[in-house]
Amino acid sequence: MNLAITKTDQVGIIASALCMIHCLATPFLFIAKSCSATCCEATPSWWTSLDYLFLLISFFAIHHSSKNTSSSWLKYALWISWSSLLILLINEKLQFLSVSVYAIYVPAIMLVLFHVYNLKYCQCKSDTYCTS
């Protein structure tokens, strides 16, 4: 069981970190592209779909990690961070509210930190799901 917990937290850390790298790289990649070619100003759909892929992977990592953590507050922290990331991503795509583009990094960083914390301090000691 400990191996499964470790793997989902590691997947969550990797997915959140890749999401942040993806978000950081986007402006630089498209500034370079716009400087080199004046056509095709729109972001390719495969690039924007990576946002949703990272969200999907992190959803399953959080789902499994929240079942296996010994900390009840951490379950809520993981889900609140993920929900915040989802809301900010949807807002970025649909422009409901004027929110800084940098706001998306806060829940992504929090997801990484919560997964690391869970990995280090909140592991269940039995082979069944935690009930706390």
List the chain domain ranges: 2-121
Burial class (CB in 10 A: 0-12, 13-18, 19+), 123: middle
pLDDT at 125: 59
**What is the Rg, in whole angstroms, of the alpha carbon atoms belonging to the chain?**
17
- Confidence at residue 36, expressed as pLDDT on a 0 to 100 scale: 45
Q: Which whole-number Å values give the CA distances from 38 to 19, 31, 111, 125, in the listed order?
A: 27, 11, 37, 58
Which run of H or of E encompasses 39?
none
pLDDT by residue for the chain (132 residues), tens only, comes to 454 555 777 877 887 777 777 766 666 665 545 544 545 556 667 777 778 888 888 898 888 888 888 888 999 999 999 999 999 989 988 888 998 888 888 998 898 888 888 888 776 655 555 554
| Residue 24 to residue 50: CA distance in whole angstroms | 13
